[in-house]
Amino acid sequence: KKLLKSTFFFAKMVSLVLVGFNKLEASEIKASREIIERYLEKMKKKADCKELKIRLKMKKHSKSFIHEIEAKLYAEKIFNAKAIDRNLYKALDSALSKIVSELK
């Protein structure tokens, strides 16, 4: 299995690392990036973010997939969150909202 590891830089030099997103179609990656960027803006307002790393694991279940998201934010300290859902976007939303709620 080849893992896609992409790094993007945003204002204030926040590194975004996506791992395992190579299994998605281009439209799914674009929609995922929009969700991630929205949450990254919220995170930057609350903390001095250095890197956001998101790992996607997809498990085949019958005719659909189970999406497991592991998100890790490196700021003043490390914030972790994990979410599992059949819907990729719900899993992303859930994991990232957990991190935002942990920030001061």
The CATH number that applies at residue 61 is 3.30.160.100
pLDDT digits (tens, 9 = 90+) for 54-77: 999 999 888 889 999 999 999 989
Closest to 25 measured CA to CA, from 39, 4, 45: 4
Q: Which amino acid is it at 53?
A: K
pLDDT above 70 for 91: yes
**What's the Cα-to-Cα distance from 20 to each of 1, 16, 36, 37, 67, rounded to whole Å?**
9, 13, 15, 18, 11
Split into its structural domains, the chain has a count of 1
What residue numbers bound the domain in which 76 lies? Answer: 5-102
**Between residues 33 and 6, the one the model is more confident about:** 33
Give the C-alpha separation, 104 to 15, whole Å: 20
Prediction pTM value: 0.84
Residues 6+ apart with CB under 8 A from 40: 10, 14, 16, 49, 52
Q: Give me the pLDDT at residue 29, please.
A: 92
More confident residue, 92 or 48: 92
